């Protein structure tokens, strides 16, 4: 299980290189490089535009008192799509563009919504197994830390048996004039 991320990265590199070589043999190396840069720029532009729309939707939901959970998960999908579009390669661009499609985002939201707990201002975090709200009582007070061992000091200069005979003038650097 600990080798899984490394295996997935190696598999991704293999898939990207195979696709890159096949596209380069069909349209040429220069055109392939141009396509990779163009898809990255186009992807960044699309993510920026959709991200701004999504932020506006989140603000509208908050103003109306509704939960912006779906829009926030869409934001995660947009960030992931942006990352995949910036990474050079045709396979990652394809996956990133898929994440920008509204039906795929809706599927992404529907899969993740059941696994997320939301904060509700009156009740704390919602928990399906708990029916009573948290009362939110706050208790204020003061405390004082006391050590079990009486020989412990902060600078370890004084001990019980008196073996360390340092004085206050030895500790104070200003007194050595």
Q: How far is CA 59 from CA 2, 19, 65, 71, in A?
A: 40, 41, 10, 10
Residue 5 lies in a domain: no
Which structural domain range is residue 19 located in? 10-116
Q: How far is CA 74 from CA 6, 38, 39, in A?
A: 27, 24, 21
Residue 28 lies in a domain: yes
Query: What number of other Cβ atoms are within 10 A of residue 77's Cβ?
Result: 24
List Cβ neighbours of 125 (8 Å cut-off, separation of 6 or more): 117, 118, 119
Residue 35 lies in a domain: yes
| pLDDT value of residue 54 | 85
Nearest to 46 by CA among 72, 80, 78: 78
| pLDDT value of residue 15 | 95
| pLDDT value of residue 21 | 93
In this prediction, residues 123-136 reach a mean pLDDT of 50
Q: Are 105 and 99 in contact (CB under 8 A)?
A: yes
- Measure CA 14 to chain center: 27
Nearest-angstrom CA–CA distance, 98 and 90:
12
- Model pLDDT for residues 28-42, shown as the tens digit of each residue: 999 999 998 888 888
Based on the structure, what is the number of domains in the chain? 1
- Model pLDDT for residues 157-176, shown as the tens digit of each residue: 555 555 555 455 555 555 55
pTM of the model: 0.57
Residue 169 lies in a domain: no
Output 116 or 13, whichever has higher pLDDT: 13
Residue 26 lies in a domain: yes
For the chain, percent of residues with pLDDT exceeding 70: 71
């Amino acid at each position: 299980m600990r080798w899984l991320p490394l295996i997935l990265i190696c598999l991704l590199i293999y898939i990207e290189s195979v696709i890159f070589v096949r596209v380069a043999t069909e349209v040429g190396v220069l055109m392939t490089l141009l396509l990779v840069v163009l898809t990255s720029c186009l992807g960044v532009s699309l993510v920026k535009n959709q991200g701004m729309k999504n932020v506006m939707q989140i603000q509208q939901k908050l103003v109306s008192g509704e939960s912006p959970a779906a829009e926030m998960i869409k934001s995660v999908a947009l960030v992931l799509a942006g990352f995949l579009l910036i990474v050079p390669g045709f396979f990652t661009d394809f996956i990133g563009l898929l994440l920008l499609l509204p039906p795929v985002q809706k599927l992404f939201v529907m899969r993740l919504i059941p696994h997320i707990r939301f904060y509700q201002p009156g009740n704390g975090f919602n928990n399906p197994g708990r029916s009573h709200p948290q009362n939110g009582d706050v208790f204020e007070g003061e405390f004082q830390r006391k050590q079990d061992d009486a020989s412990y000091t902060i600078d370890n200069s004084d001990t019980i048996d008196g073996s360390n005979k340092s004085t206050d003038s030895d500790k104070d650097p200003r007194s050595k004039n």
